[in-house]
Amino acid sequence: KNQVEQSPQSLIILEGKNCTLQCNYTVSPFSNLRWYKQDTGRGPVSLTIMTFSENTKSNGRYTATLDADTKQSSLHITASQLSDSASYICVVSATGGSYIPTFGRGTSLIVHP
């Protein structure tokens, strides 16, 4: 069964600090992995999308890494800001022509001043 596990479930950090969120998956065959940021009461916003051949992708202060061999991804946030407080969701899609994404439960990040 395809699964996506995210850790930690929640995280509290001080403004200006860095943090790393983890995503492990068992989706096969792998097509791509996405990271989304979802503010409370809003729809998710795409941060990065990576295919099998990509190891790293950045979007401003957000850097995602992918290790397709170990089926792990991480999202690194640099110099956190109060506006980074949100839920971060990892989504993995299988290949084969069909779009059937598998979602992680998300990591809730709180950035304190």
Q: How many helices (H) and strands (E) does the chain have?
A: 0, 11
Per CB under 8 A, residues contacting another protein are: 31-32, 34, 41-46, 49, 89, 91, 93, 95, 97-101, 103-106
Instruction: Kindly give the pairing relationship between strand 10-14 and strand 30-38.
Output: unpaired
Considering the complex, what minimum distance in angstroms separates the CB of residue 18 from another protein? 25
**Nearest approach, Cβ of residue 14 and another protein (Å):** 27
Question: Smallest distance from the beta carbon of 98 to another protein, in angstroms?
Answer: 5
- How far apart are alpha carbons 3 and 62 in whole angstroms? 24
